[in-house]
Amino acid sequence: MGRSEGLKTSGPEASPEVSPAARRIVEAARTIAAERGLEALSVQAVATAAGVHKSAIGYHFGNKEGLVLALIESLGHEESNEERRAVGRVADPSQRFHAYLSLYRELVMTSDHWRLAVALGPTPHYDEKTKVLGRSIALDLGALHLRPEDAEARVLMSVLQAAITGLAIQYEARGPELDLEACFARLEEALAPLFLEAMRDAG
């Protein structure tokens, strides 16, 4: 397998041809970057955590820079894709929006996604990060039955995702001291009317 294939390795949406070693490498790198930051992301540290020889990282990803690109790509392979589809199956728009926020509240509490996104923030790969963010927003809009090509809907979703990211960062810093359920309830109260109007317009 060449390096370009190695960049597709994380998450359930990854190609089934991707080797188990490449998957382990990306998962080990995710854990190190999310928990300890990019400064701790050395080829040796990732190889040790993944249980592979350093040469395996070179084979699949080329070097540390290739591994960082794989981590950026992994942000677009959400573990929540099936849950997103479940949100999309909720018939009532108000309940659908509530289910969407409930899904993200759970992810804030259990996922390393936001810690990894913050760790990758200083990297200069703006085009790659923009593409991943665009795909994520399109999936979320689809879950709410909104059209990804609708500019106003994309702005709404960008605002909502920024608010959720802010709550995730606060939760990481404050833990149970932050009443996450109350925060999401306030977020729903503030934004539900706008999203419900957009869903009516799209429907």
Q: Of the candidates 74, 100, 129, which is a domain's last residue?
A: 74
pTM: 0.78
Task: Look at the chain and report how many structural domains it folds into.
Answer: 2
Helix ranges, the chain (H): 3-6, 20-36, 43-50, 54-61, 64-74, 81-88, 93-110, 113-120, 126-143, 151-174, 180-202
Q: Are residues 70 and 86 in the same domain?
A: no
Domain that holds residue 195: 81-202
Q: Residue 30: CB partners within 8 Å, gap ≥ 6? A: 10, 71, 74, 112, 116
Say whether pLDDT at 2 is over 60.
no
Q: Are residues 105 and 65 in the same domain?
A: no
Longest Cα–Cα distance in the chain: 55
Query: Residue 154's closest CA among 143, 162, 146, 145?
Result: 146
Residue 102's pLDDT band, with cuts at 50, 70 and 90, is very high
In tens, the pLDDT along 29-74 reads 999 999 999 999 999 999 999 999 999 999 999 999 999 999 998 8
The answer to whether 22 touches 62, Cβ cutoff 8 Å, is no
